[in-house]
Amino acid sequence: MKTAHFLSRPVLAKLQAVYNQLQNANPTPGASPFTVALKEFLGRFGEERTASPGEIIFEQGDPGENLYWIESGSLAILQGKLSNPTLLTFRYPGHVVGEIALLENISRTASVAAIQPTRLRYLCKEKFQEILAHIPDVSLEIMRLLSARLREVKPAEYSSGNYDHLTGALSRQALDSRLEEEMARAERYQYNFALAFIDLDHFKEINDQYGHARGDHMLVEFVRRIVVELRTTDLFFRYGGDEFVLILQGVNSERGPALVQRLMDLARLTPLPGDPPLFLSFSAGIAYYPEDGQTSECLFKAADQRLYQAKKSGRNTVNGNLTVNDFASQ
């Protein structure tokens, strides 16, 4: 048996603090509808593993050896050095981790560690491939799950040019290529997505009144609060200054406004410490692929127009309504 490795106590304590804060603000999300069948065959063919808080299940760069289904507890998905990792998201009971590396035969794209006492069921690579070959229904479920994870970050993309140095969000440079890839994928697999153009409210006034250090802290904290709420299929970019772009895969005009509004509500839930305490708020305009167009220019034009209307309405507003002429009132 392999020797267990653990996160340091300070790192685990920080992750648990974020986890507990999120649990207080939001109930634990349910299992993906694509993992119900996976639970059944993992129960029949998988093996059991338990993990203590802080125990590392696998690390970024490790070979993909097993697929894991979370029976109880929770896992943190982490990026970068585990001495000071970036938190991508949490996984909960009913969720699956590790399938990307097995399916694509690549190294792990992130590290995974237990936050609570966690019970897992896992399947080794050989048994996984054998089941895929002989049970078509399971293959279909895996493909559905994979389609929801198409936007997982690959290790080769962890270069300095793809991430904003201050906030850790994806960079504007990365946006150009990732948006084109997203549109090509959406056209090929016939799914839609939402693009939200986000602008922090009154950021210039805060910067001028309280100084650039406090402004930088606001940007960093804003990104942290948003990122911990996102799915691993979502993409969050710093466009420039106090402007950000969020791509939500599989989200249409019916769901888009509510999802972005939820992010807004969570971002402003707790004031930023300091004298005086400051509350985060933003305005957002949302465009939709393919309804608003099938080029980046069309999507940004629609999102920018709706952002303009959100600001005109008094800021602290999400405008994601599909209308014939969004800019008619300018």
Q: How many residues does the chain have?
A: 330
Mean pLDDT of 147-151: 43
85 with 176, same domain? no
310 with 197, same domain? yes
Residue 149 — very low, low, confident or very high, per pLDDT cuts 50/70/90?
very low
Cα–Cα–Cα angle for 62, 238, 30, rounded to 5 degrees: 55
In a domain, 285, yes or no: yes
Domain count, the chain: 2
Residue 328 — very low, low, confident or very high, per pLDDT cuts 50/70/90?
very low
**Between 151 and 126, whose confidence is greater?**
126
114 with 13, same domain? yes
19 with 130, same domain? yes
Residue 229, Cα to own-chain centre: how many angstroms?
Answer: 7
Q: How far apart are CA 174 and CA 91, in angstroms?
A: 26
197 with 113, same domain? no
Residue 131 — very low, low, confident or very high, per pLDDT cuts 50/70/90?
low
Q: State pLDDT tens for residues 208-256.
A: 999 888 888 899 889 988 988 887 778 999 999 999 999 998 899 999 9
The predicted structure's pLDDT at residue 25: 47
Residue 37 — very low, low, confident or very high, per pLDDT cuts 50/70/90?
low
pTM of the model: 0.55
**Between 156 and 169, whose confidence is greater?**
169
Q: Quick check: 200 pLDDT over 90? A: yes
140 with 207, same domain? no
227 dihedral zone (left: phi>0; alpha: psi -120 to 50; beta): alpha
Q: Quick check: 146 pLDDT over 60? A: no
- Residue 150 DSSP class: T
- Residue 127 DSSP class: H
Q: Quick check: 26 pLDDT over 60? A: no
Phi and psi angles of residue 257, each rounded to the nearest 5 degrees, phi first: -60, -40
As a 3-state breakdown, the chain gives helix, strand, coil percent values, each rounded to 5, of 40, 25, 35
Range of the domain at 242: 162-319
Mean pLDDT of 260-270: 91
Cα–Cα–Cα angle for 311, 315, 320, rounded to 5 degrees: 70
User: Within 13 Å, how many C-alpha atoms sit on residue 51's CB side?
Assistant: 30
Residue with tokens 């279909």: 140
pLDDT over 70 percentage in the chain: 78
Q: Quick check: 324 pLDDT over 80? A: no
Tell me, what CATH number does 83's domain have?
2.60.120.10
The predicted structure's pLDDT at residue 175: 93
Residue 136 — very low, low, confident or very high, per pLDDT cuts 50/70/90?
low
User: Within 13 Å, how many C-alpha atoms sit on residue 158's CB side?
Assistant: 14
